Structure 1
Amino acid sequence: MFTTYEEAISWIHGRLKFGVKPGIERMKRLMKGLEHPEKKIRALHVAGTNGKGSTVAFIRSFLQEAGYSVGTFTSPFIITFNERISVNGSPISDGEWTMLVNEIKPLVDELDQTELGPPTEFEIITACAFLYFANHSSVDFVIFETGLGGRYDSTNIVEPILTAITSIGHDHMNILGNSIEEIAGEKAGIIKAGIPIITAVAQREALRVIQDEAAEKSAPFQSLHETCTLFDEEALSSGERFSLKTGEKLYEEMQTSLIGTHQRQNASLAILAAEWLNRQKQAGISDAALRQGLKKAAWPGRFELVKENPPVYLDGAHNKEGIDKLIETVKQRFGDKKVNIVFGALKDKPYYEMIKAMEEIAHSIHFASFDFPRASLAKDLYDASDICNKTWDEDPDHVIKWIESKKDPNEIVVVTGSLYFISDIRKRIIS
């Protein structure tokens, strides 16, 4: 048994050696050993290539404004490991993590010796989340964000009251498939019989896959783009403003504090979630609570301003679709500025295409590495770029010096790439 938090978390991280093993049989065995905590919570389940975290933040925020206590399970973490399991936006304590790990470890040790094989790091963290929320009756709702895919994701043992798929893009193709249709099929695996599914997926071929899965499972289905209209969209200095007409009502001049054109879509999907919860009488969310909740929602690492001089923004655009949204936001907001980019990525991402896209808006790009098993070498990223004004350094300590060298008031710095990378840089800037 572990006596300290550090020992418990070190044991969890030691499971990284077992890699990613899609499938839910090990999770089912763990849940049985824990007397099925997944059946004791009122959950929402959110999948998607991009936009999951922000959508979770919006839903959590307006539920809180309506007076509910809300748990969230998200990944990866940006500020502290503990935030993976949070209540009302506050991470659980070191002591709570230690107790959870001590309760789960004997079951993991047993499972290690079975034909199913050793549980992974993510499976153990997910099991901790189910156990924690099941034991805390004061939590009214729990929002689970998938880690990878959907169908075979560890979270997919959940029995939700509502599911959502934010977007479909080209990510984790070595596991999820090479086409949009294949990836959509894996995300659609979270759809449960008779449980409503809402989605902001835009590609017609992906939407058809999700709709077919919903029909097969008799799950009520709603597409944001096919049933709602976004209009009067505007970028604000500290967020976004938009109006939304759903099949149910008109929401005028809604405002978010999260920056980025894509946040209007994420916020709109969250509004649909509120409508469904109200319609099912699972919650009572007033228009005032919804409006205030959207405005108060915060999510670190999503076009987040972390330094004023020079202005430094962090954005976890970790795939091509994310980079495209980042570029769209930068063009809209900073078309008259010199844009200096700091970029670090994982080896299994399409970083060549991401770099090519960023070169369109970049005045300069600094390539960096970071402490993570799958991190790309900075020199490899540098070699993939054709921009003239480029530098590289394997030591992330030097990123801060590079940022501070930007003295021109007409310059901004955007740190992007892997969420693990921006988490590391955020700690170095906000210390």
Structure 2
Amino acid sequence: MFKTFDEALRWINGRLKFGVKPGLERMDWLLEALGRPEKKLNAIHVAGTNGKGSTIAFIRSILNEAGYSAGTFTSPFIITFNERISVDGMPISDEEWTALFNEVGPLVLELEKTEFGAATEFEIITACAFLYFAKYRRTDFVIFETGLGGRLDSTNVIEPILTVITSIGYDHTAILGETLEEIACEKAGIIKPGVPVLTAVHQPEAADVIKRKAKENESPHMSLHERCERYGEHSLPDGEQFSLKTPAHHYEQMETSLIGTHQRQNASLAILAAEWLTAEKHAHISPRDIRAGIKKAAWAGRFEKILDKPLTFIDGAHNKEGVDRLAETIAARFADRNVHVCFSALKDKPYTEMIRKMEAFASSIHFTSFEFPRAESAQKMFEESRSSHKTYDEQIDSVFHLIEEKTVDEQSVVVITGSLYFISAVRSVLKK
């Protein structure tokens, strides 16, 4: 079908027109045609509103420190499309992606002729991930991130050894539900009979939904907030520090290289995952492996320092809860500095509420847009803002002009935030 990776990439990007279609019938058809690759994997399944990517990065890093190979399937990408499927933190090659698309592509065309209809972009790349780890590159573990929700997500055909639910918040409410209970029910849909579930969900109404679902499935359940104690927390110049007491061990002065107060929770949840894998004899992971893995974990686009002058960070705060975590990090680190925010969002996000939250800590807000079908216009977001120091420009290049303007002000901190697609576009330019 495809002679080059560029041809294959144009094809898969063209599938975006089919949008999001919750349901597993198309995945079942594809995977049956591929020989059920998802049943051949040692999988960990991760769902949640926020924190999935960082938690996966921590788990993967810990496994690597313990000497295990770990594949990951994550979305969306921040640096390159290839990173959606990675092995030990390294994205797979153009040639490997092309081979996968050439194997799955003909089946996609066959599927379109059935009653199930056209497969979406995410369904196809999910099928590619299952195929890759079952046939092309066997790893000790594969960590799958849900794309949207959980119950009807394309990844929810796997039979994992461990389930992790990071958090519950108001995102994709048109699909997942308007209340925390409804959203939690969709996320808890990844819980399988007898498979343990670890969670950092803190809202009582959402946590109760997960507990009930775990009980119905006779799945062992552990809540980070109920069973563990985190203390001695503070920010470091290039990361975070915390101590954690779990039912199994006591970890003193753990350090992360990921910045943000919320990363202490994500790291703690990864520690529980490592403990469980060891307790159930899926792996042998020492406290030393855990400490080193937490320290070395990296995840692009999560309060990532991108420039020193002016001090510039990019952060994928793409929903209300994400902006709350961003506000906490700003308060902990830069309460005495001038924080200039560059923001862009998708049309289907509650960006008015997000803007209100940012206005509480931003000295100024600059609104812009970017090339993406669902990107909101800068002018509309500008008009929603009540800030007395606001600007807008539809061109994404305006972000770079703002950064140049702030170079002479040593008290300025620039934070580029909003849609993950937006920060990915900005990051690719700034890194060059």
TM-score by length of 2: 0.99
| Code of the aligned partner of 1:335 | A
Residue 138 of structure 1: how far off its partner (Å): 3.9
Q: Tell me the SS of whatever aligns to 1:155.
A: coil
Aligned residues: 431
Residue 137 of structure 1: how far off its partner (Å): 5.2
What are the Cα deviations for residues 365-391 of structure 1, in whole angstroms up to 9, with x where unaligned? 000101111100000110110101111
2:13 is the alignment partner of 1:20: no
What are the Cα deviations for residues 233-272 of structure 1, in whole angstroms up to 9, with x where unaligned? 1110010100101111111111100011100000000000
Check conservation: 1:344, 1:376, Cα contact below 8 A: yes
Quote the residue 1:362 is aligned against.
362
| Code of the aligned partner of 2:103 | E
- CA spacing shift, 1:379–1:137, aligned 2, 3 Å: closer
**Using the alignment, how far apart are the partners of 1:276 and 1:136 within structure 2?**
28
Quote the residue 2:378 is aligned against.
378
Residue 402 of structure 1: how far off its partner (Å): 1.3
What are the Cα deviations for residues 63-87 of structure 1, in whole angstroms up to 9, with x where unaligned? 0000011100000000000000000
Quote the residue 1:116 is aligned against.
116
Quote the residue 1:140 is aligned against.
140
| Code of the aligned partner of 1:409 | E
What are the Cα deviations for residues 162-212 of structure 1, in whole angstroms up to 9, with x where unaligned? 000000000000000000000000000000000000000000000000000
Flag structure 2 segments of 5+ consecutive residues without an equivalent: none
Counterparts of residues 7-156 of structure 1 (less than 5 Å): 7-136=7-136, 138-156=138-156
**Using the alignment, how far apart are the partners of 1:130 and 1:317 within structure 2?**
29
Quote the residue 1:200 is aligned against.
200
RMSD of equivalent CA atoms: 0.6
Quote the residue 2:430 is aligned against.
429
**Using the alignment, how far apart are the partners of 1:430 and 1:275 within structure 2?**
36
Q: Tell me the SS of whatever aligns to 2:22.
A: coil
**Using the alignment, how far apart are the partners of 2:11 and 2:431 within structure 1?**
27
**Using the alignment, how far apart are the partners of 1:143 and 1:373 within structure 2?**
29
Residue 136 of structure 1: how far off its partner (Å): 3.9
Residue 33 of structure 1: how far off its partner (Å): 0.4
Check conservation: 1:31, 1:127, Cα contact below 8 A: yes
Residue 397 of structure 1: how far off its partner (Å): 1.6
Check conservation: 1:400, 1:428, Cα contact below 8 A: no
Flag structure 1 segments of 5+ consecutive residues without an equivalent: none
Quote the residue 1:341 is aligned against.
341
Counterparts of residues 118-267 of structure 1 (less than 5 Å): 118-136=118-136, 138-267=138-267
**Using the alignment, how far apart are the partners of 1:188 and 1:323 within structure 2?**
24
| Code of the aligned partner of 1:320 | K
What are the Cα deviations for residues 5-34 of structure 1, in whole angstroms up to 9, with x where unaligned? 000011001000100000111001100000
| Code of the aligned partner of 2:226 | E
**Using the alignment, how far apart are the partners of 1:84 and 1:265 within structure 2?**
24
Quote the residue 2:413 is aligned against.
412
Residue 129 of structure 1: how far off its partner (Å): 0.4
**Using the alignment, how far apart are the partners of 2:137 and 2:5 within structure 1?**
24
Residue 158 of structure 1: how far off its partner (Å): 1.0
Q: What percentage of residue pairs aligned between the two structures are identical?
A: 63
